[in-house]
């Protein structure tokens, strides 16, 4: 039964993908519990600072006496906190300051616009789920173990619901029909293949044959891409020697695997890798166009088994 449950879970589409009307699945990665907690803590700090400032202002202007200060402070924290979350999320379309810092965002579960109703609901429920039992836990002492236990169970239930949920939704998210995503940051790096390796005057062009390019798949290619992109970033001497050693090892490994006969001189190693990347990518992309996707170097074994 457990296995069937597991299989039914696997059959579901990934929670990260969203199908827009254009019919091209998009990726909106679900934000984890940790990053949301961090955003939450940032927001709590911000609202606490605001409340403390106001209390000090009230004290300075003699509007409140020290006896009632605690009550007034608690009231202000309460009165600042709830509108802060609601107004910030309405004004920034699903982001508070903490969420902006953590680059996460509330989106509507069905992919549509966020309604004010949904934002008010999810933030009111935050009070009922976390803050109330939380403050209760803080204010209670050992004299009332039953109430402490009850609020502890309450907080734990509220915290566990998102963990056991595909979309990491709180109770408030479920009621409001929202969930929280990582806001993707589009950064377009340079295309490695367009920076063609410049052949030195006396060096001959590095050429690979088709059978030499049949050994690797997309995974190895993209690993190589990451390696090449990281070149030249850290100029430190220790890491530089380490890097050189890595590159030497990789070049030797590739040479042995594909049966490349000529030795590669140390000055040409990067050029060799660059040329290999280009040739390999062209080769794999061409294979892919003909329906031959090669995920990694074990692609041939998978075919043999099935």
Backbone angles phi, psi at 107, to 5 degrees: -125, 155
Backbone angles phi, psi at 30, to 5 degrees: -70, 135
Backbone angles phi, psi at 190, to 5 degrees: -65, 150
Closer residue to other proteins (CB): 19 or 245: 19
Q: Is 13 in the site for other proteins (CB under 8 A)?
A: no
Q: CB of 25 within 8 A of CB of 18? A: yes
Q: Is 154 in the site for other proteins (CB under 8 A)?
A: yes
Q: Can you tell me which residue has the tokens 């202000």? A: 76
Q: In sequence order, what are the residues at sequence separation of 6 or more whose Cβ sits closer than 8 angstroms to the Cβ of residue 40?
A: 98
Closest approach, Cβ 68 to other proteins, in A, equals: 3
Identify residues 192-251 at the interface with other proteins (CB under 8 A).
Answer: 192-194, 196, 218, 221-222, 225-226, 229
Q: Which of 38, 46, 159, 183 binds other proteins (CB under 8 A)?
A: 183
d(CA 84, CA 90): 10
Q: Is 189 in the site for other proteins (CB under 8 A)?
A: yes
Closest approach, Cβ 266 to other proteins, in A, equals: 27
Identify residues 34-63 at the interface with other proteins (CB under 8 A).
Answer: 63
Q: Which of 37, 53, 74, 160 binds other proteins (CB under 8 A)?
A: 74
d(CA 73, CA 57): 11
DSSP string, 22-58: TS--EE-PBPPHHHHHHHHHHHHHHHHHHHHHHHHHH
200, 225, 202: which is closest to 276 by C-alpha? 225
Interacting span for other proteins (CB under 8 A) from 7-15, 172-180, 231-239, 267-275: 172-180
Closest approach, Cβ 212 to other proteins, in A, equals: 17
Look up residue 39 and give its two tokens. 């955003």
Closer residue to other proteins (CB): 11 or 289: 289
Closer residue to other proteins (CB): 45 or 87: 87
Q: Which of 174, 227, 250, 270 binds other proteins (CB under 8 A)?
A: 174
Closer residue to other proteins (CB): 79 or 240: 79
d(CA 243, CA 270): 11
Look up residue 73 and give its two tokens. 């402070």
**Binding flags for other proteins, 122-151, as an x/- string (CB under 8 A):** --xx-xxx--xx------------------
Q: Which of 51, 107, 180, 273 binds other proteins (CB under 8 A)?
A: 107
Interacting span for other proteins (CB under 8 A) from 199-207, 264-272, 282-290, 297-305: 282-290
Give the bridge partners for 178, in sequence order.
Answer: 108
């Amino acid at each position: 039964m457990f296995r069937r449950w597991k299989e039914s879970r696997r059959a579901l589409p990934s929670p990260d993908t969203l199908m827009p009307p254009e019919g091209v699945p998009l990726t909106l990665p679900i934000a984890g519990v940790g990053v949301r907690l961090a955003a939450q803590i940032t927001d709590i700090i911000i609202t606490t600072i605001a409340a403390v400032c106001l209390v000090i202002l009230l004290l300075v202007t003699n509007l409140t006496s020290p006896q009632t200060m605690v009550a007034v402070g608690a009231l202000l924290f309460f009165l600042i906190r709830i509108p802060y979350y609601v107004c910030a999320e309405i004004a920034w379309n699903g982001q508070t300051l903490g969420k902006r810092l953590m680059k996460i965002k509330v989106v509507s579960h069905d992919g549509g616009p966020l309604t004010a109703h949904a934002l008010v609901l999810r933030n009111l429920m935050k009070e009922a789920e976390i803050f109330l039992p939380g403050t209760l836990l803080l204010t209670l002492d050992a004299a009332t173990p039953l109430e402490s236990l009850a609020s502890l169970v309450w907080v734990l239930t509220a915290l566990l619901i998102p963990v056991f949920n595909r979309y990491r939704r709180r109770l408030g998210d479920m009621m409001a029909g929202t969930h929280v995503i990582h806001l993707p940051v589009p950064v377009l790096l340079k295309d490695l293949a367009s920076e063609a390796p410049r052949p030195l005057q006396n060096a001959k062009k590095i050429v690979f044959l088709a059978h030499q390019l049949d050994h690797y798949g997309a995974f190895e290619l993209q690993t190589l891409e990451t390696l090449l992109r990281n070149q030249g970033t850290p100029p430190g001497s220790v890491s530089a020697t380490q890097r050189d050693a890595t590159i030497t090892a990789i070049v030797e490994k590739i040479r042995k695997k594909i049966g490349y006969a000529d030795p590669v001189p140390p000055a040409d190693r990067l050029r060799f890798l660059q040329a290999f990347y280009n040739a390999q990518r062209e080769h794999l992309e061409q294979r892919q166009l003909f329906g031959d996707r090669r995920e990694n170097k074990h692609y041939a074994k998978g075919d043999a088994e099935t």
